[in-house]
Amino acid sequence: MQSKHSKSETQKPPSIKDKISLKAVIDSMGVPADIILSNAVDPILHINCNGEILNCNSTARVILGYDEGELKNCNIFSLIPEEYTPFIKERIPCCNEDETPGDKEQEKEDMFLLRFPDSKGILNSYECVIFPFCEDEATSFFLNLWIPDHSRNELSSKLQEARSNYEALTETITEAVVMVDESFNIIYANSSCKRVFGYTREELTGSPFAMLFPREVFSRYADEFKKYFYMDAQDDQSVRKELEVLGRSKNRGVSPLEISFGNSRELEQRTIICIIRDITQRKKQERQLRYLAYHDKLTELGNRDLFHTDIEEFFKINKSHEELCGALLFLDLDGFKQVNDTLGHQAGDLLLISTAKRLRGLMRESDMIYRFGGDEFVILITRLSSQSDVDLICRKILQVIQRSYNFEKNNQNHKVNIGVSIGVALLPAHGTDRETVTRHADLAMYKSKESGKNRYTIFSEELTLKAKNKWLIDQGLKTALVNQEMYLLYQPIVNRDGDITGVEALIRWNHPTQGLISPDDFIPPAEESGLINPIGRWVLEHALMDIKELNRIMNRQLYVSINISTRQLNAPDFLEIVGRAIKRSKIKLENLRFELTETFIMQSPEQAIRVLEQLKKNHPGLKLVIDDFGKGYSSLQYLSRLPVDVIKIDRSFIKEIPAENNRKVITSIVNLANSLNLGIVAEGIETEEQREYPPLKDCQYMQGYLFSKAITYKELLQYLNR
């Protein structure tokens, strides 16, 4: 039997039509497989559906390069490169369990390229067609092979033509183009390779592809490169078409490259085509952009985003650490705003830059420093073993920031001193996530501010508790009045004989869940939020009504002394509110006193003087008391200008009686009051000793637990009846 498409007859690879007729011949003849094999001119392998080679003809043996019997009983799948197995498997139906044999025979009868190793392992290319063969009910397969003949192959010459066009094209582009064969040898290089790699095309052609990469890079990527040879034109999604790798040039060392891959599927060999760009410049730009995105322009410290990345990284690395291994420091400069306001923004900027420098000079290389904007700095200490190190670092920071800053402005040298408030969270004790540790460090920092600035505070749970309480207070205050949680107490004020002359109204808040909250705890937040205005108004109205009623019932002329905060004083409708309350209660003006603290008045003395003068003008007879006198620094100049009538000596001086230096203070306050013709109240009198204290002998009025605590209206009635 003679195959119709032996080369001697047709000089061409068989067409599909030829192959079908060959199958027809095989089918119709019912000839045994051995006969077919021995008569075929083409090399033919006979395999079963598992790929085992049952037999082959001598042509196959010779062409494939094996000795007699060498191929028999081998499995074809263990011989050929793995990438080719699907081509065969899909053509021998029992390898595809879903399909019944013979189902798709027709479709699968196309020719494909097969790489087959000779006995030395050298791969050669063959064109291949597979035919099923039925003998005694069993299906086996004939693999019909041809050596591709490209000199007469139309497709091949077209490819050749395309290739030279392609080569001409590659000469015009600035990227390096290399073509690499399956053994990773460069078979073509364009002249731009010289620019990218420093090698001429002659130097590259025939050289190993590996020479374009540092050794370890090539070995890491070799498998990845291999995939490109078999990447299908139909786009294999699993293979990226671009790679960024480090390359190596002849004399410029290592630089980042971007390689785009394509492959040619020429019949005799597979090649990859690599278009290679040096992306050093782009990488540099990317780095610059990234730097800008993660750094503060002014100080060149990291910004908040970088901090977020770093701290997440820190937690990842130290996930299993339970002992102290780091610390987060929040820094807020004290007095920065004044520098900005008095010397201008430029000086402010310089101060921030020098602060950054000072911090950087102080911290270790492994510590990260960030600026969150404004005068907030953050330090992440990533290696730490004892808390005493934290104390030491904080003390050093306080020291370096305290050193004077010098500025030139308008040819003048300015010396500026600032401080810094630091809050510390220890890691991981004070949190194992970003949100918690920043909140804790921030809270500790606020604590430092609150306790007088220029110091450091290490976070403790107690701070959270305080913050939580503050929150509860802020929330509760909004509804306290409406829910009738507030009430007034009155503390008697007595003369030297112990007779009651008036009362001070003192507010109380009975919080629904927290119980009784001291005014020292809720008045400051109420002042901060402005809620002191409705609260103060409520106090004013109720105290006036109460005292008016009390005096009526008891037939007395007691006065009520009401605490007024500056925020109230500064409210635009203060005078109006007071006027209305006085009118409504019909209280006698000599029965009304307002207490203002010295520190409050001194915050904006001119404004206080203006309002108080107007108040006295509107309501002649109403008396003004300076509360907590001696506690703040009081300027005599203002004191003489304020329309005050009475001063109240702060109870801290009374408390420490008979401390010697208090004697001097009390004596001078009393002398001052006398010289200005002001009345004096001593508050906080708890003992007989305090009452009889000689420097207080000129003090007309007293107030304190010795006489009475603050009591309810009802209790006050009983007190008066005694």
> Residues interacting with Ca ion, by CB under 5 A?
563, 595, 627-628
User: Which residue in 112, 229, 117, 236 sits closest to 182, CA to CA?
Assistant: 229
Q: What is the closest distance, in whole angstroms, from the C-beta atom of residue 581 to ligand C2E in the complex? A: 13
Q: What is the closest distance, in whole angstroms, from the C-beta atom of residue 392 to ligand C2E in the complex? A: 40
The CA distances from residue 610 to 297, 344, 614, 619, 624, in Å, are: 47, 31, 6, 14, 14
Residue number, 127 or 595, with CB nearest to ligand C2E:
595
| Residue of 43, 428, 684, 695 that binds ligand C2E (CB under 6 A) | 684
Q: What is the closest distance, in whole angstroms, from the C-beta atom of residue 689 to ligand C2E in the complex? A: 13
Question: Is there a contact between 525 and 562 (Cβ–Cβ < 8 Å)?
Answer: no
User: Which residue in 354, 355, 361, 391 sits closest to 376, CA to CA?
Assistant: 355
| Amino acid letter for position 233 | A
520 makes contact with ligand C2E (CB under 6 A): yes
263 makes contact with ligand C2E (CB under 6 A): no
Query: Which range, of 35-43, 98-106, 202-210, 678-686, touches ligand C2E by CB under 6 A?
Result: 678-686
Phi and psi for 624 in degrees, rounded to 5? -110, 135
Query: Which range, of 184-192, 324-332, 660-668, 679-687, touches ligand C2E by CB under 6 A?
Result: 679-687
428 makes contact with ligand C2E (CB under 6 A): no
List residues bridging with 130 in a β-sheet.
143
How many residues bind ligand C2E, per CB under 6 A? 24
Phi and psi for 78 in degrees, rounded to 5? -90, -10
Phi and psi for 370 in degrees, rounded to 5? -130, 160
CB neighbours of 308 closer than 8 A, spacing ≥ 6?
Answer: 434
Question: Could you say which residues in the range 182-221 bind ligand C2E, by CB under 6 A?
Answer: none
| Residue of 109, 376, 485, 686 that binds ligand C2E (CB under 6 A) | 686
| Cis status, amide bond into 428, omega within 30 of 0 | yes
Question: Is there a contact between 367 and 310 (Cβ–Cβ < 8 Å)?
Answer: no
Task: Please report the DSSP string for 290-333 in residue order.
Answer: HHHHHB-TTT--B-HHHHHHHHHHHHHHTTT--S--EEEEEEEE
Residue number, 194 or 691, with CB nearest to ligand C2E:
691
| Residue of 565, 566, 585, 591 that binds ligand C2E (CB under 6 A) | 565
237 makes contact with ligand C2E (CB under 6 A): no
Q: Is 459 left (phi over 0), alpha (psi -120 to 50) or beta?
A: beta
Question: Is there a contact between 248 and 212 (Cβ–Cβ < 8 Å)?
Answer: yes
Question: Could you say which residues in the range 522-541 bind ligand C2E, by CB under 6 A?
Answer: 523, 536, 539
Q: What is the closest distance, in whole angstroms, from the C-beta atom of residue 603 to ligand C2E in the complex? A: 14
Q: What is the closest distance, in whole angstroms, from the C-beta atom of residue 518 to ligand C2E in the complex? A: 5
Residues 554, 563, 493, CA angle at the centre, nearest 5°? 40
675 makes contact with ligand C2E (CB under 6 A): no
Residue number, 519 or 632, with CB nearest to ligand C2E:
519
Residue number, 334 or 627, with CB nearest to ligand C2E:
627
The item of ligand C2E, Ca ion, none sharing an interface with residue 675, based on CB under 5 to 8 Å by kind, is: none
518 makes contact with ligand C2E (CB under 6 A): yes
Q: What is the closest distance, in whole angstroms, from the C-beta atom of residue 407 to Ca ion in the complex? A: 43
491 makes contact with ligand C2E (CB under 6 A): yes
The CA distances from residue 519 to 19, 189, 472, in Å, are: 104, 86, 14
Beta strand 559-563 pairing with 500-511? parallel
544 makes contact with ligand C2E (CB under 6 A): no
Q: What is the closest distance, in whole angstroms, from the C-beta atom of residue 703 to Ca ion in the complex? A: 9
In the chain, what is the straight-line distance between the N-terminal and C-terminal CA atoms, in Å?
142
| Cis status, amide bond into 525, omega within 30 of 0 | no
Residue number, 634 or 703, with CB nearest to ligand C2E:
703
The item of Ca ion, ligand C2E, none sharing an interface with residue 175, based on CB under 5 to 8 Å by kind, is: none
Residue number, 48 or 529, with CB nearest to ligand C2E:
529
Number of H helices, E strands in the chain: 29, 26
The item of Ca ion, ligand C2E, none sharing an interface with residue 601, based on CB under 5 to 8 Å by kind, is: none
Question: Is there a contact between 648 and 595 (Cβ–Cβ < 8 Å)?
Answer: yes
Residue number, 421 or 708, with CB nearest to ligand C2E:
708
Residue number, 527 or 627, with CB nearest to Ca ion:
627
Residue number, 527 or 628, with CB nearest to Ca ion:
628
x/- track of binding to ligand C2E for residues 644-663 (CB under 6 A): -------x------------
The item of Ca ion, ligand C2E, none sharing an interface with residue 526, based on CB under 5 to 8 Å by kind, is: none
627 makes contact with ligand C2E (CB under 6 A): yes
Q: How far apart are CA 204 and CA 196, in angstroms?
A: 12
Q: What is the closest distance, in whole angstroms, from the C-beta atom of residue 362 to ligand C2E in the complex? A: 43
Three-state DSSP state, 198? coil
Residue number, 384 or 532, with CB nearest to ligand C2E:
532
User: Which residue in 518, 512, 521 sits closest to 485, CA to CA?
Assistant: 512
Q: How far apart are CA 623 and CA 539, in angstroms?
A: 17
Residues 417, 423, 425, CA angle at the centre, nearest 5°? 150
The item of Ca ion, ligand C2E, none sharing an interface with residue 331, based on CB under 5 to 8 Å by kind, is: none
Phi and psi for 193 in degrees, rounded to 5? -55, -30
Q: What is the closest distance, in whole angstroms, from the C-beta atom of residue 514 to ligand C2E in the complex? A: 15
628 makes contact with ligand C2E (CB under 6 A): yes
- Going by the DSSP 8-state scheme, the letter that residue 100 receives in this structure is P
User: Which residue in 416, 420, 400 sits closest to 334, CA to CA?
Assistant: 420
| Amino acid letter for position 461 | E
Stated as kind and residue range, the H or E segment containing 683 is: strand 679-683
Question: Could you say which residues in the range 591-610 bind ligand C2E, by CB under 6 A?
Answer: 595
Residue number, 299 or 563, with CB nearest to Ca ion:
563
493 makes contact with ligand C2E (CB under 6 A): no
The CA distances from residue 679 to 591, 626, 632, 635, 637, in Å, are: 15, 10, 19, 18, 18
* Tokens encoding 583: 């009118």
Residue number, 196 or 682, with CB nearest to ligand C2E:
682
Q: What is the closest distance, in whole angstroms, from the C-beta atom of residue 706 to ligand C2E in the complex? A: 7
696 makes contact with ligand C2E (CB under 6 A): no
Q: What is the closest distance, in whole angstroms, from the C-beta atom of residue 709 to ligand C2E in the complex? A: 7
* Tokens encoding 201: 């095309």
x/- track of binding to ligand C2E for residues 494-513 (CB under 6 A): -----------xxx------
Residue number, 176 or 710, with CB nearest to ligand C2E:
710
Residue number, 348 or 502, with CB nearest to Ca ion:
502
Q: What is the closest distance, in whole angstroms, from the C-beta atom of residue 488 to ligand C2E in the complex? A: 7
Residue number, 76 or 539, with CB nearest to ligand C2E:
539
Three-state DSSP state, 67? coil
Question: Is there a contact between 257 and 244 (Cβ–Cβ < 8 Å)?
Answer: yes
Residues 352, 358, 361, CA angle at the centre, nearest 5°? 140
Residue number, 332 or 628, with CB nearest to Ca ion:
628
The CA distances from residue 419 to 401, 454, 690, in Å, are: 6, 5, 41
Question: Could you say which residues in the range 20-59 bind ligand C2E, by CB under 6 A?
Answer: none
Question: Could you say which residues in the range 699-718 bind ligand C2E, by CB under 6 A?
Answer: 703-705, 710
- Going by the DSSP 8-state scheme, the letter that residue 49 receives in this structure is T
List residues bridging with 92 in a β-sheet.
none
Q: What is the closest distance, in whole angstroms, from the C-beta atom of residue 707 to Ca ion in the complex? A: 15
Contacts to ligand C2E by CB under 6 A: 491, 505-507, 518-520, 523, 536, 539, 563, 565, 595, 627-628, 651, 683-686, 703-705, 710
